[in-house]
């Protein structure tokens, strides 16, 4: 099984998505979007940009832990990773986003259960 996207709503009514790997680990978290259509556009951007190595920006937290941002062609951040313990772990995270990002599976957590 490959990864999937989960869309959820924050306490202030904005939308966010996460990209999950096949093992259900979150590998990319989006910014907040005012509308559902904005979040859908963000997912489409990850699907398009995630396979491209030049779209990854390698960063470090203030305390030195590596992480990455995935950027669109216009250089806007689409999503960010968690902080990793090592550069090698961050690189594995990027490989996972490259592999799982193109998925079309979307789980909508904003819908009320019937």
Residue 88, domain extent = 4-109
Residue 114: is its pLDDT beyond 80? no
Q: Is residue 8 part of a domain?
A: yes
Sign of CA dihedral 19, 78, 42, 111: positive
CATH of the domain at 72: 2.30.29.80
Model confidence band, residue 2 (pLDDT cutoffs 50, 70, 90): confident
Each residue's pLDDT tens digit, 47-104: 999 999 999 999 999 999 999 999 999 999 999 999 999 999 999 999 999 999 999 9
Q: Is residue 57 part of a domain?
A: yes
Integer Cα distance of 12 and 34 in angstroms: 10
Q: Is residue 114 part of a domain?
A: no
Model confidence band, residue 44 (pLDDT cutoffs 50, 70, 90): very high
Model confidence band, residue 39 (pLDDT cutoffs 50, 70, 90): very high
For residue 85, CA distances in Å to 33, 48, 108 come to 29, 28, 31
Integer Cα distance of 26 and 67 in angstroms: 13
Number of domains, the chain: 1
Q: Is residue 22 part of a domain?
A: yes
């Amino acid at each position: 099984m490959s990864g999937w996207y989960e869309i959820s709503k924050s306490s202030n009514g904005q939308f966010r998505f996460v990209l999950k790997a096949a093992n259900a680990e979150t590998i990319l978290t989006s910014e907040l979007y005012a509308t559902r259509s904005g979040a859908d556009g963000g997912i489409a951007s990850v699907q398009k940009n995630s396979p491209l190595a030049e779209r990854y920006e390698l960063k470090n937290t203030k305390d030195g832990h590596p992480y990455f941002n995935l950027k669109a062609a216009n250089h806007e951040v689409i999503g960010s990773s968690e902080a990793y313990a090592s550069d090698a772990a961050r690189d594995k995270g990027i490989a996972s986003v490259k592999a799982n990002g193109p998925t079309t599976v979307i789980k909508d957590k904003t819908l009320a259960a019937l």
